[in-house]
Amino acid sequence: MRLVVIGDIHVQAEKLWRMLQEAGLADEQNRPTNALRDDTTRLVLLGDLVHPKSRQRYADLINVRRYDEYNPRHLERAEIAQTRFLREVKAFADRVPGENMTILMGNHDFNAVSPDQGPLRTDDVSHLEWKPGYGNELDDDLREWILTWPYELAIDELHLAHVGPLKEHNTFDQSFYLENRRRWLQEDRDFFEGTPYRLGVYGHTPVRGGVNVASQGRALLLDTNGHLGEYAWLEVELRADSYRLKMHGNFFDEIMPKG
């Protein structure tokens, strides 16, 4: 089986469609190709489709010089742009048969469909979209669709989730933020000991240069789509006795000042 895995997107439509086209899973009209209709190919998105990760990305999304989330017109335009993106992804997914495409729940996705959970914050920008007292309500059909996204997926002893290998890593309650559950990455232990999994692939924690490893080399981190033109997607060839892993994309994009 061929598995294509894409990390956190955060409303970067151009990057998503570029990766799907590079992987041969989407055509020039952003429709699924025959490759994705074949039962030997699967696509997994690791969650966090919503919420641009910086004020500048919000500004680019709604075409303003500086984004102000407390400006009702800016916030409404951000909601409209993200709603349009979600509908594009849903239209694509609806054309994919069976279980050939899976979108996993990310903490930003969960926050977007949880009106009782307060706004998240990234650096200096608050994500106020669809929050009572700030934004509009997310369309019912999109909210119901997002709520169907699973929190984890297992394919042939390969574990995929948004944050990490344990259930608590992908439980996005208030304690998730208080306890900083990405700390498992720094622990010198094998989190897969005693589990049926041989390898894990996760997003959530930003990395640069393609991929980072954790859990004594048995976990790969794939949140690589956040900086300038950088993007990356992972291709996994599932064999009887091994995995063949290939990274694709643009791994480094940096502006270096002179002098």
Sheet holding 212-214, edge to edge: 152-155, 158-161, 199-206, 219-223, 212-214
H-run or E-run covering 83: helix 72-94
Sheet holding 231-238, edge to edge: 101-103, 41-45, 2-6, 231-238, 243-250
pTM for the full model? 0.96
Read off the pLDDT of residues 24-79 as tens digits, 9 standing for 90 and up: 999 999 999 999 988 899 999 999 999 999 999 999 999 999 999 999 999 999 99
Read off the pLDDT of residues 168-205 as tens digits, 9 standing for 90 and up: 999 999 999 988 888 899 898 999 998 999 999 999 99
| CATH number listed for the domain at residues 2-250 | 3.60.21
pLDDT of residue 208: 86
Q: 82 with 9: CB under 8 angstroms?
A: no
d(CA 122, CA 110): 15
16 closest CA partner among 47, 41, 38: 47
Give, in degrees to the nearest 5, the angle at Cα 13 between 12 and 19. Answer: 95
Q: 72-94 and 55-62 helices cross at what angle (nearest 10)?
A: 80
16 closest CA partner among 128, 91, 122, 107: 91
pLDDT of residue 240: 86
Q: How far is CA 218 from CA 83, 191, 225, in A?
A: 36, 8, 21
Other C-beta atoms within 10 Å of 52: how many? 25
Report domain extents, the chain: 2-250
